[in-house]
Amino acid sequence: MYIFKTAKDLNRHLQIYRDKKRPVGFVPTMGALHQGHLSLVKRSLADNPCTVCSIFVNPTQFNESSDLAKYPRSPERDLELLHNVGCDVVFMPAVAEVYPKGLQFEDTAQLDFGSLAKVMEGAHRPGHFDGVAQVVKRLIDIVQPDRMYMGQKDYQQLLIVRSMVQQLALPVEVVACPIVREADGLAMSSRNQRLTAEQRQQAAAISDVLRQAAQWAAVHTPEEVAQKALRALEEAGLEPEYFTLADPVDLSPVHRFSEEEEAVMAFVAARAGEIRLIDNGLVKKG
C-alpha cells in the first residue's frame, strides 16, 4: 500500500494508471475509519484496478470549532485497516497541500444548490455544504478519479456532491453505497466513538425510530409521523434537531403520502449530549 502526503507524489504514481486508461476509484474520508468507510473502499477495489482513499479532516466544513477540535483521529489504526482490506493508495495531505491558496472559497463559491442546501443539514449547519463542495472539488482536482464512492449515511451530502459534479461537468461518476450499521441498528460513524456507554444505548433509538416511522407511515400523516418520531427520540434521552420526511430526489418536504408510487425518505439529526448524529431511511417505497 502506497502512502502519499503530497499531490505531486500521488500524481506521479497515478499517472501509470491514467496512461494505460485504467480507472481509478476514490474514497474521500475524514479518517477514524470504521466498517462503513471500509465498505466503500471494498466496493471501489471490486470496481477499479486502483483505489485511492484520502484521509483529511477538512477544517472548512466544520461549523462548530469544538467539533473540529474533538473530531476523532487515529491515523495509524486507519492505515492498518486500509492495508488489511487491500487498499492500493492512501492520500494523507496537510491542510496547506489541499488549500495552497488559503481556506477562502474559490471555484465552488459560484455553485447554486438551490433548496438542496437550504434544508436539514444545510439549515442546521451554516456553511457546512460550502465546505464539503470546496474540499471534494479540490480532492477531485488532485486525484482525478474515474469513480468516487460515497455513503448514503450522508444522503444530503451525496446529492450536493452529485449536483456539483453536474454543474461543473466533472468527469467522475459518483457511486452511492448503502449505510453500514452496528448490530443494534446504529449507523456507523466516527463520532460514535465519543459516546459514553449510556449515550451509546440511547443512540440506538435513532435507527429504531426510522424503522418504526415506516410502519407509522402506513396509517398516519407525515406530520403525525414526524411528531411521534420526535417524541420517541426525546423519550430515549436524545435531543432531536429535526425529523423530516422528504422526496429522495430533490429533498422537498413531503406533506402527505400519495397513493402513487412515490418514494419517501425520513431524515433525522439528534444529539446525544454534545455528539450530533444523523441517519436516514426509506419510509415509503416508490
Provide the binding-site residues for ligand AMP, judged by CB under 6 A.
Answer: 29-30, 36-37, 39-40, 150-151, 153-154, 177, 179-180, 187-190
Residue with smaller CB distance to ligand AMP, 241 or 279: 279
Q: Which is nearer to ligand AMP, 150 or 165 (CB)?
A: 150
Residue nearest to ligand AMP as judged by C-beta position:
151
CB of 94 to ligand AMP, least distance (A): 17
CB of 132 to ligand AMP, least distance (A): 9
Contacts of 216-223 with C-beta under 8 Å, sequence gap 24+, read 217/245, 217/257, 217/264, 217/283, 217/284, 221/256, 221/257, 222/254, 222/255, 222/256, 222/257, 222/264, 223/255
The full DSSP string for 153-222 is GGHHHHHHHHHHHHHTT-S-EEEEEPPPB-TTSPBP-GGGGG--HHHHHHHHHHHHHHHHHHHHTTTS-H
For residue 37, indicate whether it is catalytic: yes
What is the helix (H) or strand (E) element at residue 282, kind and residue range?
strand 275-284
Q: How far is the CB of 15 from ligand AMP (least distance, A)?
A: 26
CB of 32 to ligand AMP, least distance (A): 7
Question: Cα dist. 70→36, 240, 274, 278 in Å?
Answer: 20, 21, 11, 17
State the Cα–Cα distance between residues 99 and 226, nearest whole angstrom: 41
Nearer to ligand AMP, 41 or 254 (CB): 41
> Element (H or E) spanning 127, and its range?
none
Distance CA 130, CA 111 (A): 9
Residue where the block lists cell 420526535? 230
C-alpha cell at 113: 444548490
Give the shortest CB-75-to-ligand AMP separation in angstroms: 13
Q: How far is the CB of 83 from ligand AMP (least distance, A)?
A: 18
Nearer to ligand AMP, 90 or 150 (CB): 150
Q: Which is nearer to ligand AMP, 150 or 213 (CB)?
A: 150
Catalytic residue, candidates 34, 37, 128, 255: 37
**Which CB atom, from 182 or from 262, has the smaller least distance to ligand AMP?**
182
Q: Give 3-state DSSP helix, strand, coil % of the chain, rounded to 5.
A: 45, 20, 35
Catalytically active residues are: 37
